[in-house]
């Protein structure tokens, strides 16, 4: 009796149902991680109620974070906006604490600079390793680098050179299939969300260490 049953349709439906459940669970965990990360971008306990300079520095950090969130680019690069925002933020914080110095960014000691950079680098590394969105970007960067290295090796392969005319012929078809693939758009949306949360988070981390640097807290901690 069971030999006459067609198990293809139930198997496909069961597989699709399992994939939908897995995707829903992954998206939910990712969304919860984004919410938790947004709340922990910069701890308010770090700012003393009576410290006006720290409040002003915190405002500079918030404005920098908001400028990154307001970008209208559909698929923003997560690194280049940071390279534009971080120097402006650090210079603004330095001017708050050294308003009369002609070059306030270089006002602290070299040892303090070294310690601040070390602490900021450690904070960012821990953030990328311990947060799911951080691991996503770290994985994407590593995959891109490995793909670049693999492409360089394949370009020198005689067999690949022989197949190049064939690949150029079928490449438009492959590009259309990849563009219309749901996985491509899901990955694009995921990386987009991760970038928009990562950028303000890293700004918060660096801004917090910059406040400690220019307020003299690092110098006091190094002396104790």
Query: What is residue 73's predicted lDDT score, i.e. its pLDDT?
Result: 60
Q: At what angle do helices 110-130 and 182-215 cross, to 10 degrees?
A: 150
**Predicted local distance difference test score (pLDDT) of residue 124:** 84
Q: How far apart are CA 105 and CA 95, in angstroms?
A: 8
pLDDT at 91: 94
Alpha carbons 205 and 7: distance in angstroms, whole number: 55
Spatial separation of the C-alpha atoms in residues 46 and 58, rounded to whole Å: 10
Q: Give the position of tokens 């000691």.
A: 109
Up-side HSE of residue 117: CA atoms within 13 Å toward CB?
7
Provide the pLDDT for residue 1.
Answer: 44
Rounded to the nearest 5°, which phi and psi values hold at 203?
A: -60, -40
- Would you state the pLDDT for residue 139? 46
Mean pLDDT by 10 residues, the chain (224 residues): 59 78 72 64 54 86 83 64 89 92 89 90 81 56 52 64 66 57 60 71 89 82 55
Taken in order 181, 185, 186, 188, the sign of the CA dihedral is: positive
**What whole-number distance in Å separates Cα of residue 206 and Cα of residue 165?**
49
SS3 156: coil
| Backbone φ and ψ of 5, nearest 5° | -80, 145
- Interatomic CA distance for residues 58 and 204, integer angstroms: 9
The CA distances from residue 20 to 10, 14, 42, 181, 191, in Å, are 15, 10, 35, 16, 20
Pull the structure tokens for residue 139: 């994985």
Angle at 138 between CA 73 and CA 75, to 5 degrees: 10
Q: How far is CA 146 from CA 140, 143, 150, 158, 209, in A?
A: 10, 5, 6, 21, 32
* Domain segments of the chain as ranges: 40-223
DSSP structural state of residue 154: H
Nearest to 203 by CA among 83, 117, 108: 83
């Amino acid at each position: 009796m069971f030999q006459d049953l067609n198990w293809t349709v139930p198997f496909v439906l069961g597989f699709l149902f399992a994939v939908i459940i897995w995707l829903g669970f992954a998206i939910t965990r990712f969304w919860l991680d984004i919410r938790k990360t947004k709340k922990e971008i910069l701890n308010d306990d770090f700012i003393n109620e009576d410290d006006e300079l720290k409040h002003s520095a915190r405002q500079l950090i918030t404005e920098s974070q908001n400028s990154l969130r307001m970008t209208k680019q559909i698929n923003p690069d997560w690194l280049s906006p940071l390279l534009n925002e971080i120097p402006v933020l650090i210079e603004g914080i330095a001017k708050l604490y050294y308003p009369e110095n002609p070059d306030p960014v270089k006002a602290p000691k070299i040892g303090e600079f070294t310690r601040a950079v070390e602490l900021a680098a450690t904070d960012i590394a821990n953030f990328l390793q311990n947060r799911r969105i951080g691991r996503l970007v770290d994985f994407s960067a590593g995959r891109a680098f490995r793909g670049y290295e693999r492409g360089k090796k394949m370009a020198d392969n005689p067999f690949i050179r022989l197949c190049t005319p064939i690949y150029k012929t079928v490449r438009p078809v492959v590009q259309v299939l990849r563009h219309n693939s749901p996985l491509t758009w899901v990955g694009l949306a995921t990386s987009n969300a991760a970038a928009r949360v990562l950028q303000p988070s890293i700004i918060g981390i660096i801004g917090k260490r910059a406040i400690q640097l220019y307020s003299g807290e690092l110098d006091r901690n190094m002396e104790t």
